[in-house]
Chain A
């Protein structure tokens, strides 16, 4: 035996690859939809979870009193009807008599009362509590009726109630302290399992009062890398995916058999200025920045044009025509003269902070802004911070400028009262308020006539853009990628996945 032969290493790699690929793409179970997203929920308590990734997950299992449909109109959920008294200080809710929790118990007025008391209890640490502080008492004349008494006229409270952060929980679970470890909701899907940052499974709820769920359930995978989601769609490993990254989304239409469903969202990309800092205290300087920024150019670069330029109000019912807002057409000369008048003819230096990867476009936005503002002499130093560090700095208003993607609400008051009213909880972050803004907000809260509200908030929008405490940039899209076999999904401006309760599967 003279010659020793060994397996050629390349051959063994080849074997391994064949082995790998032959095991790919197992067909999905009958009517269970396999879906993927890149960010997982961070917890199961609907009153405490504010991360969007948690909300869209919990929304499949829990229900608030009312919810928003695909056009952001308020529609029934646990409540079947609701009405304000004339002064808008009393809200009466009628509970859907068919509403049942997953444990079989009917949803009663006592559950609603217990849920809202839990939110209002400071020990719970529910961030949405701030929206409900005007509730003075909750009355339950019978099992099917709840009356909220309010200390002041408050129409927008109803939109705040449409959030999963005000979900209705069984009074028994609240008493037992099992909220957050067990999921007993009244929504279209029943909790199966949850492995954080990995996977979860839900089953359809046959007793759901909201309608019939046509699929058997959902199997959700967390794929942190969206290019991996794209690949999984190509190989038909998943039926449904949420896409965050506009770059990945632009590639979906090229994938055979996959449809891209997109919808403009309420959340907005914004350059937050800190009007308590240095040069930014001057209105002229802030306006100069607003004029020096080319919003469409940033949108084209950071989001490959996937979105639209917006003013402060992003909801269809209230948004302004951007051409009427202050300096929405880039004007470098005007910016320079505004700077000179404000006493900064040669510009100034400032720091701009962005959170690492949140949103994925933040770093790109900061870099384009840096380049655009350099043209008027404003020298920016970019600081990319880890998300938690960014949030701490943001809450402490410890920044000159910040790139942010802030959440939107269907109602202008609930969306902005935290920032642009004198009593706003986040006044310390926005650091800017004037009498005009404050009084317009209060008028908007008290007005019940929709047409009059529109006029009020149009003034608000225009004034806010002109005062430029922040420079509003644009809104993006929410994307869902859906295999052709899955039909009937409708996206909403809040990025909700609630539409999954209505889909059908054909194989």
Chain B
């Protein structure tokens, strides 16, 4: 058995060496990422890991570029918002799908109607919001939404357009494994659990991408991923764990690229009537008991920035006046006593152990800090595949989670995370503690009708302040920093995106 394994390893090594030593004419890239694709259906997986793959095979009507994620044209060249419910998109002419079918308004209509089908889509909310899609001509489309959706266009970079003809003609199983889009890359081969190979789309509307062949190897285990880089098997790795930052820096062959991430990490607290956490003083005490500076220094190894709220700076609704409550365990103890819990209470902290940077360690630290003011924490840390369904069920008491809003509008975030759960309206779908506050719900609902950007921003900021200061809906912890490592001296030009997507047309060497 061992002998066989050793042989296989030797052959694998030789193959890697051959690939690496192959003809240098066409630029190619081998990289390791921390998550594997679930499917090749661009609407079936709304996680950033899945969308990151899809962004190479497909295009949205719009795309996001640069550090601030600026919304720029893609399959649409221009868009208008004639009234509160209508969105008009002018489409790019002369674009072809990978199978040479021309891209037209019919494909847009088809793709957006597909979003509402639960069998193939995780973008049901977006699908449900649309009342009608009118094809004016081959290159003009008007969307009408049921309610005013101020952030409707902000979502256009992650709703990918599929080819109507081939998607309808093919077997649904085939659609799940073979992407046919307009994107900068075509899928060459996908071996589940091993690699995904991409080749450049030479007819790409933005011009053929500089790197012709890309091989992505999903390696979930962080130290294995690092080992693949250190041994020269891959040239870029995503998700360098913070404890390996120093060793990477010390290695003369490697280089670290870091990018402040959009994602904030925070603790969600329930407010079930009669539970200790229904008392604002208890919520304040828990907030003040946590030494976030120490978490950043010791657990995140300095690779995080303290957060006083959930949205990040470029998001509409970010409130620059918000500050963190100070770390003050003595005051926290006093607040607990005032609230009638001088000896603390017991609470279960749930969290994922394979989703965010150091997630499990942060949970452990929080348990430690709360123990020091007398709150006994039962830790219930589990794989994300078990954790997230529990959040969706809304049965948790206290949990750690991370979030960033792909649409750059806090309103959408709050409807999902903070609004009282209402399955019919689709509110509070990720409000995992079943948190409920009537005043917050009311103010939030009022923002849905506000289209004027300034007024919208002001109201959302007011809402943000109310949630973070008056109600302490969540205890914010920090914004993550994404760490990547690349092989030095190979001429790789890589500027990571704030949303962690690996978009290969943006990479050169």
Answer whether A and B are interacting partners.
no
Hey, which bits of chain B sit against chain A, CB under 8 A?
A: none
